């Protein structure tokens, strides 16, 4: 597989926060990240945390009241996923902490992956799972194209309709 940009790994994710302090507490005490030095040249509030080979950069929102309201837990929304060792222990701990969560599972080829979803203090979705038991199987190039064919067909149809409207 090609690596045209010579990427090595995920370095960090940045999250805009209602409260950097509450977010640091959550990522440190719930997810096990630890604070690391942040460049002093930044002229905005924030914090950097690190663990599991990735960084989380928390940025204080300029207008926390304008941030989207925290909605229901929907596993199909954007989320950050972490692998865990024991789903049962994890679920027990979240219950003790009174953190609302939703469970789900995925089955493929006789392998069942357990998933657990919840929000951080800003409404960002967190998934914890035992996803590492599911093999990563690259798809052949032709199957990638065919999996996109419905989308491509719909895009072509929409473009044709737009062209017809422009001609009228």
The predicted pLDDT at position 147 comes to 52
Q: pTM to 2 decimals?
A: 0.80
Catalytic: which of 91, 96, 100, 127? Answer: 127
Domains of the chain, start order: 1-66 (3.10.180.10), 68-138 (3.10.180.10)
- Token pair, residue 107, equals 């089955």
Q: What is the Cα–Cα distance from 116 to 144, expressed in whole angstroms? A: 28
Q: How confident is the model at residue 157 (pLDDT cuts 50, 70, 90)?
A: low
The predicted pLDDT at position 163 comes to 54
156 φ/ψ angles, rounded to the nearest 5 degrees: -60, -45
Q: Is 2 a known active-site residue?
A: no
pLDDT digits (tens, 9 = 90+) for 55-107: 999 999 999 999 999 999 999 999 999 999 999 999 999 999 999 999 999 99
Alpha carbon of 108 to those of 26, 111, 114, 117: distances in Å? 33, 5, 12, 20
**Coarse DSSP helix, strand, coil percentages of the chain, rounded to the nearest 5 percent:** 30, 30, 40
pLDDT digits (tens, 9 = 90+) for 118-149: 999 999 999 999 999 988 888 887 765 555 55
Q: What is the Cα–Cα distance from 115 to 106, expressed in whole angstroms? A: 8
pLDDT digits (tens, 9 = 90+) for 5-27: 999 999 999 999 999 999 999 99
């Amino acid at each position: 597989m090609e690596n045209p940009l010579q990427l090595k790994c995920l370095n960090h994710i940045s999250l805009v926060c209602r409260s950097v302090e509450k977010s640091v507490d959550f990522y440190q005490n719930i997810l096990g990240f630890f604070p690391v030095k942040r460049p002093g040249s930044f002229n905005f509030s924030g914090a950097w945390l690190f663990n599991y080979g990735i960084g989380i950069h928390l940025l204080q929102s300029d207008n926390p009241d304008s941030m989207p309201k925290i909605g229901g837990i929907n596993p199909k929304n954007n989320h950050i996923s972490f692998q865990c060792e024991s789903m049962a222990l994890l679920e027990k701990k979240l219950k003790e902490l009174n953190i609302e969560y939703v469970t789900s599972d995925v089955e493929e080829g006789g392998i069942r992956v357990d998933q657990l979803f919840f929000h951080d203090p800003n409404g960002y979705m967190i998934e914890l799972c035992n996803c590492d038991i599911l093999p990563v199987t690259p798809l052949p190039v032709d199957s990638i194209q065919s999996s996109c064919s419905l989308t491509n067909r719909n895009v072509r149809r929409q473009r044709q309709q737009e062209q017809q409207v422009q001609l009228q």
